[in-house]
Structure 1
Amino acid sequence: MSELGPAIDSYLAELGRQNASAHTLRNYRIDLREFLEYFSPPGAQPPSPAMIGVLQLREWLGSLYDRGLSVISIRRKLAAVRSLFKFMMRQGTVQTNTARLVRTPKAPKRVPIVPTAEQTNKLVDGVAAGRFERPHPERDLVLFELLYGCGLRISELSGLNLEDFDFGERWIRVRGKGRKERQVPYGSKAAAALEKYLVKRAAGPKERALLVNHRGARLSDRGARGIVSFYARMISGDASLHPHSLRHAYATHLLSDGADLRAIQELLGHARLATTQKYTQVSLTDLMAVYDRAHPKARKHRPAT
């Protein structure tokens, strides 16, 4: 029997013991099960991990391209396989992390699409207005105030517990990628929204989650995304706006108002400054648009009238 399947099970169990996020566990489980299926032809056992070489991995990557997957998805799947091989090296199952010898597909450089400050404020103010018959309008407003006011990832937001808040000093302890913790401040509008919500928070007797659903249990990532999509569609007429759009807006608007790039990196929980620097590209794009509209040298020649 091949060691590949049991190695995947052991690795996923190890991730669970390391308190990897539910989002990470779900994605790695899907990616590695697909990897196992690729190397498990009908009626045959998969090869031993030591027999999977660079050529076989390149063929596997080629199959992902053939399926029409995006480069981002392929990069994520390759990262999962590299982590698996790293684990198998520690366990003595393989001698080399062969997956590291495969070149990572180059991701296209994309400038995030960011709503303007006016658009974002219109959306959040629309939520605060309470014009829609929603079961938990106070909770919905807290969700938007923290997404835009603190730049949280949706998984970070849904993972917040009551004890993560310093309500006096207005600080939140946020657990980000890799369970790394950071401290994020929040403003007066978020504080006012929290105060109103906590009075009406209808949670189960032992539930410590900040945001809860109609059953009194923790609001899931999917539930939070649905709330954002509803208000975006109803207020902005744009159902494509998602929670990460508000994180992009948070960073871009801070930068536009003069915040230091290093400070924004800390607030967002980015491990690398290069990740934060993409927001400078957004600001430069906006700046060029202003230049094209306003500067005499940029305007097209107008015929005399």
Structure 2
Amino acid sequence: MGESKKMVARSDKNVSPSGASSSVSMAQLHTLIDDFCEHLDLVVGRSSATIRGYRSDLYSMSEAIRGIDNFTLPYLRQWMGVAVEEGKSRATLARRTASAKAFSSWAQKNGYLKTDAAARLVSPKINRDLPKILGEQQASEFVENAASASAEEFLRDSAILELLYATGIRVAELCGIDLLDIDHGRRMIRVLGKGDKERVVPFGEAAHMALKSWMEVRNEMAQNTNALFVGVRGQRINARQVRRIVDKAAKVTGVEHLSPHSLRHTAATHLLDGGADLRQVQELLGHSSMQTTQIYTHVSNKRLLEAFNKAHPRA
């Protein structure tokens, strides 16, 4: 943070300055928001997507409260109330609440605000929809039904589908894999997750064989890149291309509304169904919070209940 920013943010005008103009107060608030986002990037290590979300929410807030001197609980509640009237989703409301709370706590700890004004701002509860999950047989059929334009692309697409299901990694993580990230002997893969957090994930025999087949023809498609998977122009594959590969295989298999993230959900649920520990699944998926992983226990419990109701004579 530059000295000029510190002087503006820490000036006495920052906290309810008597006679301060609205434009000055707005400028101070925008400066603080930018400094907070810089803190998230350089100190906390949040992902660029998360930081963009925080910045968008906080700039929306600044337009509503019109300055740092109005950063109070009543003004924040009014801002949230308008969002409710506009029909914003519960997820959006929860994200806005989290953004305001994080900013408020940071500003108070650093002396920019006298009190943590947003500490009592209530986040609405979100009714989480259970993710779409493939059955084990359905998943096997899906990963074996890549719909590709050429033999080389078929081997690439099959390896992508197998790896997504085998590891539960995110699409962005898959796209970022380099050749040196694969340990074929130990069947381990190094991926870079959210917040630039690195983890090592194992994969099984099916994915190993699919990767081996892809590597035999990769150089026929790749053009001066270390990327494991490449697109039609020979450069690193992107998320949009991966989604198309998944979508095409889903149509061939007869599965509707399946996304790459559904394969992540499916991998996690099948691991839990097979007896994996929740903490192990959390580590495999790269979740920073156990709460995020726990949604899969609800999925597993639902599948168990369905099986019980279908099979037990006294259900």
Determine if the TM-score, normalized by the shorter chain, exceeds 0.5: yes
Q: 1:219 aligns with which of 237, 248, 251?
A: 237
Q: In the alignment, is residue 70 of structure 1 matched against residue 89 of structure 2?
A: yes
The residue correspondences of 1:196-207 to structure 2 (distance < 5 A) are 196-198=213-215, 199-200=217-218, 202-205=221-224, 207=225
Q: In the alignment, is residue 157 of structure 1 matched against residue 163 of structure 2?
A: no
Q: In the alignment, is residue 119 of structure 1 matched against residue 135 of structure 2?
A: no
Contact 2:278 2:293 in 1 (8 A): yes
- Name the residue aligned to 1:175: 192
Q: In the alignment, is residue 209 of structure 1 matched against residue 227 of structure 2?
A: yes
CA distance in 2, matches of 1:71, 1:221: 27
**Aligned to 1:103, what secondary structure does the other structure show?**
coil
- Name the residue aligned to 1:187: 204
CA distance in 2, matches of 1:191, 1:61: 50
**Aligned to 1:224, what secondary structure does the other structure show?**
helix
Distance 1:4 1:268, change over 3 A: same
Instruction: Provide, for residues 2-36 of structure 1, a one-character-per-residue CA deviation record: whole Å limited to 9, x for no partner.
Output: 21222233333444445543432443343334333
CA distance in 2, matches of 1:276, 1:219: 28
Moved more, 215-224 or 279-288: 215-224
**Aligned to 1:146, what secondary structure does the other structure show?**
helix
The residue correspondences of 1:35-184 to structure 2 (distance < 5 A) are 35-39=61-65, 46-48=66-68, 50-89=69-108, 91-127=110-146, 131-133=147-149, 136-184=153-201
**Aligned to 1:172, what secondary structure does the other structure show?**
strand
CA distance in 2, matches of 1:167, 1:188: 10
Shift of 1:91: 4.8
Instruction: Provide, for residues 145-197 of structure 1, a one-character-per-residue CA deviation record: whole Å limited to 9, x for no partner.
Output: 22110011223223333333222211122333333332210112222222233
Shift of 1:290: 2.1
- Name the residue aligned to 1:257: 274
Contact 2:132 2:258 in 1 (8 A): no
Counterpart residue type for residue 115 of structure 1: L
Counterpart residue type for residue 47 of structure 2: S
Counterpart residue type for residue 113 of structure 1: K
Distance 1:214 1:261, change over 3 A: same
Distance 1:244 1:11, change over 3 A: same
Contact 1:170 1:186 in 2 (8 A): yes
Contact 1:124 1:145 in 2 (8 A): yes
**Alignment RMSD, CA only?**
2.6
CA distance in 1, matches of 2:132, 2:92: 19
Shift of 1:102: 0.6
* Unmatched 5+ stretches in structure 1: 40-45, 299-305
CA distance in 2, matches of 1:22, 1:203: 28
Contact 1:23 1:155 in 2 (8 A): no
Moved more, 272-281 or 65-74: 272-281
- Name the residue aligned to 2:16: none
Distance 1:123 1:56, change over 3 A: same
Q: In the alignment, is residue 284 of structure 1 matched against residue 304 of structure 2?
A: no
* Unmatched 5+ stretches in structure 2: 1-23
Identity %: 37
CA distance in 1, matches of 2:97, 2:235: 35
Counterpart residue type for residue 272 of structure 2: L
**Aligned to 2:201, what secondary structure does the other structure show?**
strand
The residue correspondences of 1:211-250 to structure 2 (distance < 5 A) are 211-238=229-256, 240-250=257-267
Shift of 1:225: 2.6
TM-score normalised over the length of structure 1: 0.81
